[in-house]
Amino acid sequence: MNRLQTALAVRRQVQHRTVGVSPMYGVAFCPVCDKQLYHRRNGKHRYYYCQNKHGRNIPADYVEKLVFDTFLEEFGGDKVMEREYVPAENHQIELEAAVRAVEELTPLAGTMTSATMRSRLTEQLRALDFEIARLEKLPAREAGWVYKETDSTFESVWKTSTPEQKRRMVIDKGISARIIKESDSIHFYIETQKIPPRPEDLRGKS
């Protein structure tokens, strides 16, 4: 649980850090100190390493393939969700306008002398009554973000996604990896626990 909380904390902190971020930032950790593994390029070679010097350098391609293959195996068939902003919905202004119209028309009822005008006034008041009843039944909704399912799966969009988009997909599905290289052996385990959605992300979702 402590490891998962550490991973979640890192993910929240780097939510808006996207420029120049390594493909495994917020995903790959050292199993000894539980710290983020860092990414480094040396000429044509890339690797991940622990700043506290636990273990040896791990080839970047190996780490990324391990994590990405796990992601596609677990979630490749899932539908991609798109985040969509939903504006606030409040019908109080329309309701107040309808009530004011009733208040203006009601005093006229006692002044009408013709059947035609009384009938028309009654129709207007009845229409306003229906409109007020309709508006009173409509729910008020705060502005917020909702997730909507698309027709695409993660597997279908994977090849055309950027490294940063892939990293976000992995993080959003709660995948994290503990990996270390000792001598010529690489030891690892991968967690695939889904991060619980935040209330603000689900607001307005049925």
What are the 10-residue block averages of pLDDT along the chain, 206 residues in total? 48 49 91 94 92 94 94 92 80 87 87 87 91 86 80 93 92 91 88 55 39
**Alpha carbon distances (Å) from 196 to 11, 171, 183:** 13, 12, 37
Q: What are phi and psi of 190, to 5 degrees?
A: -120, 130
Residue 194: the pLDDT is: 53
Specify the DSSP class assigned to residue 89: B
Q: Which of 166, 130, 201 is nearest to 23 (CA)?
A: 166
Residue 73: the pLDDT is: 93
Question: How far apart, in whole angstroms, are the C-alpha atoms of residue 161 and residue 71?
Answer: 14
Residue 193: the pLDDT is: 65
Residue 198: the pLDDT is: 44
Question: How far apart, in whole angstroms, are the C-alpha atoms of residue 125 and residue 128?
Answer: 5
Q: What are phi and psi of 89, to 5 degrees?
A: -130, 115
Residue 204: the pLDDT is: 39
